[in-house]
Structures are given as structure tokens and as C-alpha cells.
Structure 1
Amino acid sequence: MHLAHPPSCRIAAVTGPATAPMNGAVTGAHSSPAALAAALRTTGYLADEGLATSAFLAMSMNRPLFCEGEPGTGKTALAQALAQILGAELIRLQCHDGIDAAQALYDWDFPRQLLHLRALEATASLGGERLNADTVEASLYSERFLLARPILRALQNSPSVLLVDEVDRADDEFEAFLLEVLTEHAVTIPELGEVRAATPPVVVLTSNRTREVHDALKRRCLYLWLDHPDVAREIEILHSRLPGLPDRLAAQVAGTVRNLRQAELLKPPGVAESLDWARALQLVGARTLDVDAAAATLGAVLKYREDADRVRNQLDALLAS
């Protein structure tokens, strides 16, 4: 029996995109940008007015939120925080060069299909029965052998937040496929029929802008540019995520990280590195950020040897400014 069914799919023919908002996404505690910002704050994610408004509108209008910005500005963390406050499953699709529809949608569990076929053949031989090809094929291509990938899981599971991470790493063909799926919220699996989301997932796409994403995909989304926080907000983030962090140490870490971001490094530190650095300083018992403490914990904030070597020679200036 031939098992080489290609993992094919097509977009379901529908009259238009779903428009119903995600259940609970724009009611109660999430009924306004301010309420959404307050809910996000409970997770430790501090959203300014622009970010909270964009996220609120994306959920209210049932549109994907396209988040672009430098690495470490909180794009992925936003999707995680939204899933937490919505009580939804976070489903992550990590894009990469060469990703295709099969990796994003579904595949068939070939080893289990083969075992099932052998079991059918063994049973038939013992009973002297003749296998019906159509019946056998139907049993092989059933839901029990379907391997749901992130996009299919997001359509099947409700509520969910679908994070399409680093979409700028994918190619044009995958972008076109993604655009159709995000528009229709449905796919057709030839062997099983249409799968349509009962409630469309909240979708967050992120891009580090390694290349320009096509306008067609951006037009389908609401756009949000995320920049590094200013010093005051970064201090607030540090206190929110690291209770008990001394005020002076938080201010010194935030100020020094700002200086590092302006130093033309190979990889400027993001908020995650700020948090790691502050935590590392706490663990070594530092109450303030001096040259010795900074040098000893530099690996928490800088990830390239060239950056670390350059900064070590300038620590006095960086800490003093």
C-alpha cells in the first residue's frame, strides 16, 4: 500500500474573514486600552499607551498585530503576557529560512501509519480476509495520525494566542500562505475536510527587520513599532520583575544599559539582558554598580567577546555618565 501522501492543504473557500472578537478579549478587564494595560501590568509587562491601544484594537478588530523592532524590545514577551491575561494557550511558530506550509500546518505520522497498515495486513492474513484499499486508506488518513503544527493547533484550540515569531526570516512564498490563513482562519485538509477556528486566535507577528516584510501582509495587520524603553520605564520594569532591587542599583543598571545601547555594539542589550544583569548583581551581593561588580557580571548583559572587551576598557566612562 502506497503511503506517500504529500502533506497538502488549501485555503478553505469562504465568503470573507471572520469578524467576531475573541471571547473575553474585549470585555470586562480588557474592555479598554487602559484596562488592558492594567491587566498586562499584573504579569510584569509594562505597556505604554501606544502599545496598549494597538493590542486592544488588534483584539477588538480581530486583526493580527505586527510588532517590529530591535531584538530585546519585548515583542515576544507581549504575546506571552496576552496569553496569560486571556487564560489562553500560547502557540509559537518560529520562522526560519526554508519554512513551508507543512511545517506550519500539519503532517502525517508516517511511522504510526506504517505500523497500523502492518497490523491490518496481519489481521487480514489470520482471518483470510481481503483488505479493501479505500477503507484502508481512509483509516490511515484519519485524525489519529494527524500531527498538528502550530497554525492548525491555533485554529483547533480556543482560546489561543498564535505567536508567529521572526516572520522576517521566512520567504515570500510562506508570507503569501500566511496571509491567506490569517485572513480566512480556516484551512482544508484534503483527507479530512475543512478546519475552521470556532473563535479566531489572537495573532502576534514579530519581526527584527532583517528584511522588509511585504506590504500585503502588513496591510492585513495592525502595525506596532517597539523601541527600547527610556530609563524611567526601564527602572519601573526592573522593579516590577525584581522586587527588592535597590532603587540606586536599578537606576544605575538602567542608565548604564542606555549607554551600552548607544555604544555601537554588535548586539546592544535588550530588556531581558537588563533583567539578567540586575539579577546577577543581586546574586553577587552588589548594592551599587561599581567597576568591579560590572566587570564580574558583564557576561549577563553582553553576549559577544568583542563587545565585552570594548566595554571593559570604557567601564569608568560608561558608569559615570
Structure 2
Amino acid sequence: MVSTLFADAAEVRRRLDTVGYLVDEGTATALYLSAVLHRPLLLEGEPGVGKTSAAKALAEALATPLIRLQCYEGLSAGEALYEWNYQRQLLAIRLTETTERRLTDADLFTEEFLQDRPLLRAVRHRGPLPPVLLIDEIDRADDEFEALLLEFLGEAAITVPELGTFTAPRPPLVVLTSNRSRELHDALRRRCLYHWIDFPTPERAVEILRRSVPSAGEPLIASAADFVGRVRALELDKPPGMAEAIDWVAALSALDVSRLARRDVLRTLSTLAKSPDDRVAVADALDDLEHAREAAP
């Protein structure tokens, strides 16, 4: 049973920790309840706070396949659910043209010609453990695509008109992520548990940087974490998330920076500020750098 995957939320934290994902109590509890209750989990939060990484870490911790569906505008049912292998169907028709037998729809629309896409692949998975299905950035998909998900999210099932309904023997662990670029419909939200991932506390941010960039020294990590916190307090179009912070510290480490200085910030801004206006705002805020350096050991 899926509920036996984890004894409790504390075990979720421990097992994710072993694969390098430092999770807070709230996120660990949400992942645990999603597994126990067999309910999809909708994770929202700013870009770069670790929503996608949570699903990846969950699959790695369980040693089960990660099936990923990357959403985008115009995503179709055929790309997400299933398609028919028309080339094989056409070949089958041609092979029988020289015989008296004529293929019917019942001959052509069978599982032999069915091509699984991510959702049906998750439903038909037959491994020892259920897979983790990541439906990434669902807010980028169209409203119509949300409607296609409702049967799957509510029943762990997909109906193929020609064949009937496929139901997962064990519901997959479904994680949906959203950056809130648009509001999701209530019908989708009702079928999911919900959790908002905040930007980490300063202490957790330091620990995440320490684990993610082991080549960086403690003084650099401490001052960089402090500086990122100050940058996030600015009025930016796209405040840096942990993904940007990790990239930034990795860039500084690659440049053999051991203690943060103004020149180092300016030459690595491309990893931290992702728009022209934000680059100007961060550059103008460099007077605060001295405070970050004083905070470093």
C-alpha cells in the first residue's frame, strides 16, 4: 500500500535529506499526507524555491521512476495522455491488403497500437512501487487542459473510448507545480492537497547552499546568503530564488572567490538578476554589501 511508503512526516524529511533535499516540516507533512491519502499535491510558490526539486527528490528517495510532464501553452491531450500509433496501424492495413481479410476498428484500436504518454504511463506502471508523476508548471497550460486532468486527478484513471478505462493498481504519487502566472480552476484545486513553499529561512538557505555547492567556503556561503536576503527585500521584477542563489554561489566558487566583494557581485550578476531593471536595482544596492561581509565569519 502507498501509505506504507513512509511511517510519518519525519521519515519523509530523513529520506529526502539522504538524497540532498533539505525539506521543511510543512512540505514534508504535505508530501506524507499526499502519499497516505492517495491525493495529488499541488505545490505553489515563487520560481526557484524547490517545487520541482521536491518531486525529483521524492522519486530518488523512493528509488521509483520519475515521470515528468512539462506543461506549456497549447499542450494537447495526445502529448499528455495517449496517442494511437497511426504508422503501425497503416502498416497493418497494408499487410492485409493482399489477403481477403479486412481489418476493422476493433482490430486497429487495441493496446498493441496504443502509445502511452506521461499520464497513461503513470496509470499503467507495474513496478514494485508507484511512480512519481510530476506535472510541472500547470499554470502554463490552457484552461482546457486542466479539464482533461480532472478524471485522472480524481480517480487515478484515464478513459480511452476505444478500449475503456485504465485505472492505476496503485495511485501514482502526483505532484503538480505552479508559479501562479494565472489562477487555476477550483475543480482542479478540489482534487488536490495544497501547499505553499516559502523561500527558506536564513538558516536553511545557508544549509542548502552548503550542500548544493560543497566547493564554496563558509565565509562565502554566509555572506552570499545574507546578500541574497537583502536583494530579495528590494522591489524586483523577479526576486532571486534558491535556484538563482545556488547558481550564483557556484559561479563565485568557480571564479575562486572566497570572500564577497563588490567586483565579484558585478561580474556575476547574470546568475542573480534576470532582467535589465533588476540588474540595475541590484547594482544600486551594493552599498549594503558591507553589511553582508560583516555578517560573515
TM-score where L is the length of structure 2: 0.90
1:94 maps to a residue whose letter is Q
Classify the secondary structure of the residue corresponding to 1:314.
helix
Matched, 1:156 2:124: yes
Aligned counterpart in structure 2 of residue 56 of structure 1, from 23, 29, 32: 32
Classify the secondary structure of the residue corresponding to 2:238.
coil
Partner of 1:112: 88
Aligned counterpart in structure 1 of residue 102 of structure 2, from 105, 129, 132: 132
Cα distance in 2 for residues equivalent to 1:194 and 1:319: 63
Partner of 1:103: 79
Question: Percent identity of the aligned residues?
Answer: 47
The range that moved more, 277-286 or 87-96, is 87-96
Q: Give the 5 Å matches for 1:222-261.
A: 222-261=193-232
CA RMSD of aligned residues (A): 1.9
Matched, 1:182 2:158: no
Cα distance in 2 for residues equivalent to 1:118 and 1:315: 71
Cα distance in 2 for residues equivalent to 1:179 and 1:149: 16
Partner of 2:281: 310
Partner of 2:16: 40
Residues 114-151 of structure 1 deviation map (CA, whole Å, 9 limit, x = unaligned): 23333332xx1xxxx323232xx444323333221111
| CA 61–130 in structure 1, closer or farther in 2 if over 3 Å, else same | same
Cα distance in 1 for residues equivalent to 2:33 and 2:160: 31
Partner of 1:194: 165
Cα distance in 2 for residues equivalent to 1:293 and 1:253: 11
Question: Is contact 1:168–1:208 with CA below 8 Å preserved after alignment?
Answer: yes
Aligned counterpart in structure 1 of residue 181 of structure 2, from 191, 199, 210: 210
Question: Is contact 1:34–1:52 with CA below 8 Å preserved after alignment?
Answer: yes
1:292 maps to a residue whose letter is R
Residues 46-93 of structure 1 deviation map (CA, whole Å, 9 limit, x = unaligned): 111111111111101111111111111111110001111111111111
Question: Is contact 1:88–1:161 with CA below 8 Å preserved after alignment?
Answer: yes
Partner of 1:78: 54
Matched, 1:276 2:254: no
Partner of 1:92: 68
Question: Is contact 2:262–2:289 with CA below 8 Å preserved after alignment?
Answer: no
Long gaps (5+) in structure 1: 1-20
Question: Is contact 1:142–1:192 with CA below 8 Å preserved after alignment?
Answer: yes
1:151 maps to a residue whose letter is L
Matched, 1:298 2:274: no
Cα distance in 1 for residues equivalent to 2:235 and 2:252: 24
Question: Is contact 1:256–1:319 with CA below 8 Å preserved after alignment?
Answer: no
Cα distance in 2 for residues equivalent to 1:276 and 1:287: 16
Q: Which has the larger radius of gyration?
A: 1
Residues 143-183 of structure 1 deviation map (CA, whole Å, 9 limit, x = unaligned): 33322111101101142111111222233332233122111
Cα distance in 2 for residues equivalent to 1:81 and 1:192: 35
TM-score where L is the length of structure 1: 0.84
2:102 maps to a residue whose letter is N
Classify the secondary structure of the residue corresponding to 1:210.
coil
Question: Is contact 1:252–1:319 with CA below 8 Å preserved after alignment?
Answer: no
Long gaps (5+) in structure 2: 293-297
Cα distance in 1 for residues equivalent to 2:183 and 2:165: 32
Cα distance in 2 for residues equivalent to 1:310 and 1:243: 29
Question: Is contact 2:273–2:282 with CA below 8 Å preserved after alignment?
Answer: no
Cα distance in 2 for residues equivalent to 1:255 and 1:139: 65
The range that moved more, 207-216 or 164-173, is 164-173
Classify the secondary structure of the residue corresponding to 1:194.
strand
Partner of 1:16: none
